[in-house]
Structure 1
Amino acid sequence: MTDFAKNARSAAKAMRALFPPTPLQRNVHLSDRFGADIWLKREDLTPVRSYKIRGAFNAMGKALAAMPDQRRFVCASAGNHAQGVAFVCQHFGVEGVVFMPVTTPKQKIDKTRAFGGGAVTITLVGDFFDETLAAAQTYCLEHGAHFLSPFDDAHVIEGQASVALEVLDEMGSAPDHMILPVGGGGLSSGVIRYFDAVGAGTALTLVEPEGGPSLTAALAAGEPTSVPITDTFVDGAAVARIGEQPFDVLRHTDPAHVLLAPENRICVTIGEMLNVEGIVLEPAGALAIDVLESLSDVLRGKTVVCVTSGGNFDFERLPEVKERAMNWQGLKKYFILRLPQRPGALKDFLDLLGPEDNITRFEYLKKSSRNFGSVLIGIETTHADTFEGLFERVLARGFDFRDVTNDEILAGFLI
């Protein structure tokens, strides 16, 4: 066994002072659906509902062993890393200073404060994470505090590797395939290093959100490179630049084994796991499950482990999740209707709706001319193909309309 594997096992043993191994559960629903033996490694069931507590615990413990007088630790995070650091600060009895963007939802601030139990001070700085990170690092320099990176740290990677160790211990053998989410790369690089160290021979698929493909960009460039975040929905994995140390491990990854998950499709997965299985997953926590459909031919008949990396889901986001899921499934559309300004025109349009068509939004925008007005209409239905018939009937009746469902500019202003 290599030093890395030994250190990961020591880290896992020490973690038992905080929490037991997270459950590895066979999921009957997914197994039957995809014709495989599918297991979920439930990292959403740690004390802070994400795997981030592992790396934070190991890195802080190693820092205290090397610097016993260090009593102040700092991190920059708007989510799971902050909560993991706060929980570990309380465990070790040290002071934590957590820097968060000003735009961080109150729910996440309150949870971080609760996990810290009085040991943590929260500082809100900057509208964007880069500003928050710079403020945290400046604070460390000025106050001699120790900065805890969320992923670009050898001891964090070592701590995250305990996920792989627990999977092997709980299964008794290596799974055929494992699917992991990727953000900054701490979890995936730790798992890969551990599997390599013990000769597990498990095939790996890594998953990034489509709106933040930092590993995909790094593999194409041969080095970490910054990418624009085009969609922040998967906030736990939408990282603009993968970590330097994780990429040293991940640079040999076959790009074909890195999949991108569309954010709207992830919403379908979140809803399915909540409604069918009663499992609450945050967007990043659903990444591994979301790509099962894309891998169905590869996985059939095999033993598969999906890491559900987090369950810190704000239920105030449920309307957005439903909206985006229906968009992906083609069950909801928005369009602008040019409606004649005459008595009975609206009734003529309503008569064109089918029995499964439901108007969820109706808003007059303005009069286009003296004789016509523009109306924003949202319609939900139960089968995507019903829209084709509806649009044919609308055009045949002489109404002019424009589908703006996927028009980023107009939808951004109107919907």
Structure 2
Amino acid sequence: MSDFTDKAHGAEHEIRALFPATPLQRNDHLSARYGADIWLKREDLSPVRSYKIRGALNAMRKVLAVDPKRRLFVCASAGNHAQGVAFVARHFGVRAVIFMPVTTPQQKIDKTRIFGGDAIEIRLIGDYFDDTLAAAQAYCTEASGHFLSPFDDADVIEGQASVAAEVMTQLGHAPDMIVLPVGGGGLSAGITRYLRDASPNTAIRYVEPAGGASLAAALLSGNPVSLSKVDSFVDGAAVARIGALTFEALKNTPVDHVLAAPEDRICTTILDMLNVEGVVLEPAGALSIDALGDLAEQIRGKSVVCVTSGGNFDFERLPEVKERAQRFSGLKKYFLLRLPQRPGALRDFLEMLGPDDDIARFEYLKKSARNFGTVLIGIETKLPKNFDLLFGKLNEAGFAYTDITNDETVAEFVI
């Protein structure tokens, strides 16, 4: 074994003082769907409902081993690393100041406070993680604290590699493939380095949100680059720039081994796992499962491990998740209808709706027109083909309409 692999096993041993190995569970639902042997490494079942506690523990224990008098730690986190740091800070009896983006779900903020208690202070700064990170690092320098990076730290990477060590023991053999979510790259770098030595024949596929594809951008450029725009929906993996140390471990990855998961499609996976399996996953935690459809031809008949990296889902987000899932699946559409201003025009439109069509929104946008009025309409239905029937009737009757479901510019203002 390599020195890194030994250190990962050492980290795994130390982690046992806080919690047992997270379950590795065969999922019959996904296995049947893809004709493969699908296993879920349930990092969403750790004490803080994500794998981040591993890296935080490993990094903090190493700092304290060298400097036992160290009492101040600082971190920046979209939520999961914050919870891990809070939990570990209380465990070691040290103080941690935790910086979180203003957009962090309230559920993650509240749980961080619960885990850390009096040992922590939370500061909400920045709309995006990178703004939060800059504020945290500036404070850390000023206060002479020790900064605990959420991913770009050798000891954090080493701690996250303990996930792979557990998988190998629990499965009893090397999987044919492991599918990893990617944000800043700490988990993927750690597991990649571990498997490179312990199981070089295991294929690795990486999944990042389409609106935050920082690993793919770095591979195409040959070095980490900052994305000009990041979609923060997948808050646990929406990072504008992959870490320098994590990229060093991932730089030889073929770019076609990195998949981009559309945010709306991730919503369908969250709902599927919740409704069918009763498994609660946050958007980042659903990334590896969401990619299975893209990998269907590659995984048939093989053993595949998906790391479900987090389950800190704020149920106040459920209506948004359902909305985005319906739109992606073609079960909900929004369109602008040019409705004639004459008696019976609305009744004519309503009679075109099928038995499974339901009006979810109806709003006049322009009420002063003499001959026509513009109406925003949202329709939910049970089968995507029902919209073909509805639009066919509208065309035949001469109604003018514009489908704005996938028009991001228009939808941002009116939906």
Q: TM class by shorter-chain length?
A: over 0.9
Distance 2:104 2:295 in 1: 35
Match of 1:121 in 2: 121
Could you tell me the percent identity over the aligned residues? 67
Corresponding residue of 2:95: 95
Match of 1:260 in 2: 260
Corresponding residue of 1:332: 332
Local SS of the residue matching 2:206: strand
Contact 1:180 1:307 in 2 (8 A): yes
Give the match for residue 156 of structure 2: 156
Q: CA deviation at 1:319?
A: 0.7
Name the counterpart of 1:136: 136
**Offset, 1:267:** 0.7
CA distance in 2, matches of 1:102, 1:286: 23
Aligned-partner Cα distance in 1 for 2:109–2:177: 36
- Distance (whole Å) between structure 2 residues aligned to residue 128 and residue 2 of structure 1: 37
Residue in 2 that maps onto 1:348: 348
- AA in 2 matched with 1:271: L
Q: Which residue of 2 aligns with 1:63?
A: 63
Distance verdict in 2 for CA 1:230–1:389, change over 3 Å: farther
The answer for the alignment partner of 1:206 in structure 2 is: 206
Structure 2 residue 411 is the aligned partner of structure 1 residue 385:
no
Question: d(CA) in 1 for partners of 2:103 and 2:321?
Answer: 20
Q: Verify the 8 A CA contact 2:129 2:239 in the aligned structure 1.
A: no
Shift of 1:162: 0.2
Change (3 A) 1:105 1:177: closer
Secondary structure of 1:123's counterpart equals strand
CA distance in structure 2 between the partners assigned to 1:151 and 1:210 by the alignment = 20
The amino acid across from 2:209 in the alignment is P
State the 1:107 CA deviation. Answer: 2.4
Equivalent-residue separation in structure 2 for 1:135 and 1:383 (angstroms): 48
Say if 2:154 and 2:245, in contact at 8 Å, map to a contact too. Answer: yes
Q: In structure 1, what is the equivalent of residue 294 of structure 2?
A: 294
The one-letter code sitting in structure 2 at the alignment partner of 1:179 is: V
Q: What's 1:309 paired with?
A: 309
Give the structure 2 partner of residue 23 of structure 1.
23
Q: Which residue of 2 aligns with 1:358?
A: 358
Q: Structure 2 length as normaliser, TM-score?
A: 0.98
Q: State the secondary structure of the residue aligned to 1:379.
A: strand
Amino acid at match of 2:63: A
For 2:101 and 2:274, locate their aligned partners in 1 and report how far apart those are by CA, in whole Å.
29
CA displacement at 1:137 relative to structure 2:
1.1
Output the CA distance in 2 between the equivalents of 1:103 and 1:251: 31
Report the AA paired with residue 276 of structure 1.
Answer: V
Q: Secondary structure at the match of 1:366?
A: coil
Residues 1:80 and 2:73 are matched in the alignment: no
SS of the residue 2:60 aligns to: helix
Residue deviations 1:26-66, cap 9 Å, x none? 00111111111110000000000000000000001111111
Gaps of 5+ in 2: none
Distance 1:342 1:53 in 2: 64
The AA in structure 2 aligned to 1:364 is Y
Q: Which 5+ residue runs of structure 1 have no aligned equivalent?
A: none
- Counterpart contact for 2:128–2:232, Cα < 8 Å: no
Q: Deviations over 1:144-168 (max 9, x none)?
A: 1000000000000000000000000
**Structure 2 counterpart SS, 1:367:** coil
Partner amino acid for 2:331? L
The residue correspondences of 1:219-234 to structure 2 (distance < 5 A) are 219-234=219-234
Partner of 2:179, secondary structure, is strand
Runs of 4+ in 1 over 4 A off after TM superposition: none
Q: Per-residue displacement from partner, 1:54-87 (whole Å, max 9, x unpaired)?
A: 0000001111111111111000113101111100
Return the TM-score normalized by structure 1.
0.98
**Which amino acid in 2 is paired with 1:79?**
G
**Alignment partners' CA distance in 1, 2:301 and 2:368:** 59
The two structures, once aligned, show a CA RMSD in angstroms of 1.1
Counterpart residue number, 1:108: 108
Distance 1:224 1:20, change over 3 A: same
Q: Which moved more, 1:392-401 or 1:32-41?
A: 392-401
Structure 2 residue identity aligned to 1:317: R
Cα deviation for residue 386 of structure 1 reads: 1.2
Q: Deviations over 1:336-360 (max 9, x none)?
A: 1111112211101000111111100
Map of 1:408 onto structure 2: 408
Q: Is the 8 A contact 2:107 2:312 kept in 1?
A: no
How far apart are residue 200 of structure 1 and its match?
4.3
Counterpart of 1:36 in structure 2 is: 36
Contact 1:49–1:310 (8 Å) recurs in 2: yes
Q: Matched residues in 2 for 1:383 and 1:354: separation?
A: 11
Q: Please list the CA deviations of residues 304-349 of structure 1 after superposition, one character each: whole Å capped at 9, or x if unmatched.
A: 1000000000111111111111111111100011111122111010
Q: Which amino acid aligns with 1:377?
A: I
Deviation at 1:230, TM superposition (A): 4.0
User: Which residue of the partner structure matches residue 277 of structure 1?
Assistant: 277
Matched-pair contact (CA < 8 Å) for 1:229–1:239: no
